[in-house]
A and B are shown apart, each in its own frame.
Chain A
Amino acid sequence: KQEVTQIPAALSVPEGENLVLNCSFTDSAIYNLQWFRQDPGKGLTSLLLIQSSQREQTSGRLNASLDKSSGRSTLYIAASQPGDSATYLCAPNFGNEKLTFGTGTRLTIIP
């Protein structure tokens, strides 16, 4: 069974700090991996899509890395802001076209 784990489940950091969210998956044969954020009571917003051939993908203050061989991806957020508070979800595509989601990391940025 393909499983996705996100650690930590919850994280609180003061505004302005840099932080890293972790995602690990059991099957290294992924096509790509997508990071999303989910605000309370809302749908998912796509942040970054990183292809299996890539090691990094950047968008503004966000940087996602991918290490297929070890089954890991990280999302780095620089200079965190209160508006970054949300739940962050990673979703690898294991080639069956279904996104498999982790349970997420609930991030709180303290002003």
Chain B
Amino acid sequence: GAGVSQSPSNKVTEKGKDVELRCDPISGHTALYWYRQRLGQGLEFLIYFQGNSAPDKSGLPSDRFSAERTGESVSTLTIQRTQQEDSAVYLCASSLARQGYTEAFFGQGTRLTVV
């Protein structure tokens, strides 16, 4: 597709269950970002991947959160033992990120509700 694609668009899960969120970046984009947006709040940085470099995980809120990306393709964000405070919209973005920074494009997000 032409844009960043995220799936599922909505996810309702029970407290304590694990969830996996998926992001398909724009083809050729080397950089990929995950952000979290709680209701009525701003975007919180979670993790950044750039090519084959070690990811910047400085924004992950706890060890229940992890993310993977194989090369310059799909990324998955996994939340283990979900808690109610994990309820949020999880947004993924990608960019070319050549020689400095280029324009980032966002997906439509995954709305996660933990009940």
Contacts and interface: CB of A to CB of B under 8 A. Distances in A.
Contacts of A98: 33, 45, 48, 56, 59
Interface of A: 31-32, 34, 36, 41-46, 49, 89, 91, 93, 96-104
A44 B106 contact: yes
Contacts of B108: 42-43
B104 interface: yes
B33 A34 contact: no
Nearest to B3: A43
Contacts of A34: 103-104
Contacts of A99: 33, 43, 45, 93, 104
Interface in B25-50: 31, 33, 35, 41-43, 45, 48, 50
Nearest to B31: A97
Nearest to B53: A97
Interface of B: 4, 6, 31, 33, 35, 41-43, 45, 48, 50, 56, 59, 91, 93, 97, 100-109, 111
A97 B103 contact: no
Given A97-B101, A101-B43, A43 B48 contact: no
A42 B91 CA distance: 10
A101 B31 CA distance: 17
Contacts of B107: 43
